[in-house]
Amino acid sequence: MNIREQVVAVAPEWALKRARSVFKALVGRRVQRYDATLFRRYRLRRVTGANLSQLEGKLTFHAHAIEKGLSHSVLRPHFGRTALTQLAFAMEEYSRQGYGRERRTYKNALSAIGAYAQAHRELGLEPSLLSEIFDEVTLAYAESSSDDLAGVTVLEGSSKKDNGVKNFKALFEGRYSVREFADGPLSVERILPALNLSRKAPSVCNRQASRVKIVTDAVLIDKVLKIQGGMTGYATPPALLVVTTDLAAFLEPTERNQPFIDGGIYTMALLLALEHEELAACPLNAMMTGRNEDRVKSLLGIPVSERLIVFLAVGEFPRSVKVPMSFRLPVDDVVRLPVDDVVSHISE
Ligand SMILES: Cc1cc2nc3c(=O)[nH]c(=O)nc-3n(C[C@H](O)[C@H](O)[C@H](O)COP(=O)(O)O)c2cc1C
């Protein structure tokens, strides 16, 4: 018998229980520290001196903000000073570090600037912010870019009419985040079939802890979106779905991130189910302080024991709607083939 087994053999049950609970608390604290340390260490904190992944994240973030601005049905001329300035700063650092123009994230940034210029010219406006913020060479590349990675694409509501019979690939590839909806209310009955279908989403040990609050009251939606902050400039959506995860379903400290993983998987299933039901939707982040999360829960009567995962703005497709193109990375940037392992082992 080793020491641990000897202690377990003689210790009273109450002491063992207490020891197990202290041990779990210690593990809980350690894994939380691990999460916080990794996040603090590797997220982008300063553009100057940032690594390639961090710079690409920054380029993509600001380029997307620009294409989002371009997707409004009524363009706000000369919008986006902050996004354009930040994009220029990240592009300068990217070039300063010697990265080339061939990477898709950089091409996407150029394409977003080109789309911004074109949208203004189509309205008979000179995109004066661009020449104020970007150097001539970058602008020349942007305006001659034929990549069509960034900007907007137009979805026709009529193209969604056969969503119920589309194959998976067509349905998946045809889904875009839609932020402007057809006028008029959306009934709960219209949303329920998608919620029924999305129950098929897998979850850890089949715990099925995802919950959805349906909000159709415009005043309440506005209050929540004001706290959320990621839908400014768009009209109030006809419905807001609030996806949460019930923490009561979890057991171990090491499961700390599982509510978000299950919530994310559930949300994707729900987005596809809504698309299948010919409903337009846009996921909206729930990245907020604990205080704001509590405010949202209190406004909507969501139990404090649930975590907010995401909001979904939902409505009927309008006749036609502009959506950001939201480029995707090439597959080689996403997938590491087994050969990469071999190469990295050899070079170690
Ligand atoms: C978790 C999550 C949070 C998001 N938050 C916002 C948001 O706050 N505002 C917004 O306009 N779009 C938001 N989006 C939509 C993304 O911008 C969009 O999914 C992305 O650009 C890919 O485009 P697609 O959905 O059209 O394929 C969010 C998406 C996800 C998955």
Q: What is the pLDDT along the chain (348 residues), one digit of tens a residue?
A: 888 889 889 999 999 999 999 999 999 999 999 999 999 999 999 999 999 999 999 999 999 999 999 999 999 999 999 999 999 999 999 999 999 999 999 999 999 999 999 999 999 999 999 999 999 999 999 999 888 999 999 999 999 999 999 999 999 999 999 999 999 999 999 999 999 999 999 999 999 999 999 999 999 999 999 999 999 999 999 999 999 999 999 999 999 999 999 999 999 999 999 999 999 999 999 999 999 999 999 999 999 999 999 999 999 999 999 999 999 999 999 999 886 565 565 554
Q: Which atom of ligand 1 is nearest to the CA of 176?
A: 26
Q: DSSP per residue over 63-79, as a string?
A: HHHHHHHHTSSS--TT-
Q: Residue 200: what residue type? A: K
DSSP state of 249: G
Ligand 1 pocket check for 285: Cβ under 6 Å: yes
- Asked if 77 and 123 count as a contact pair (C-beta separation under 8 A), the reply is yes
Token reading at 345: 């082992």
Ligand 1 pocket check for 176: Cβ under 6 Å: yes
Ligand 1 pocket check for 151: Cβ under 6 Å: no
- Asked if 309 and 268 count as a contact pair (C-beta separation under 8 A), the reply is no
Phi-psi category of 98—alpha, beta or left, where left has phi over 0 and alpha has psi -120 to 50?
Answer: left
Arch. (CATH architecture) of 154-324: 3-Layer(aba) Sandwich (3.40)
Give distance in angstroms: CA of 264 to centre of ligand 1.
Answer: 12
- CB-count exposure of residue 3 (10 Å: 0-12, 13-18, 19+): exposed
Ligand 1: which of 177, 180, 265, 309 to mutate, most ligand atoms within 8 Å of CB?
A: 177
Kindly provide the ipTM of the predicted complex, given to two decimals: 0.99
Ligand 1 pocket check for 326: Cβ under 6 Å: yes
Residue whose token pair is 């415009």? 218
Where exactly are the structural domains of the chain? 3-42, 52-150, 154-324
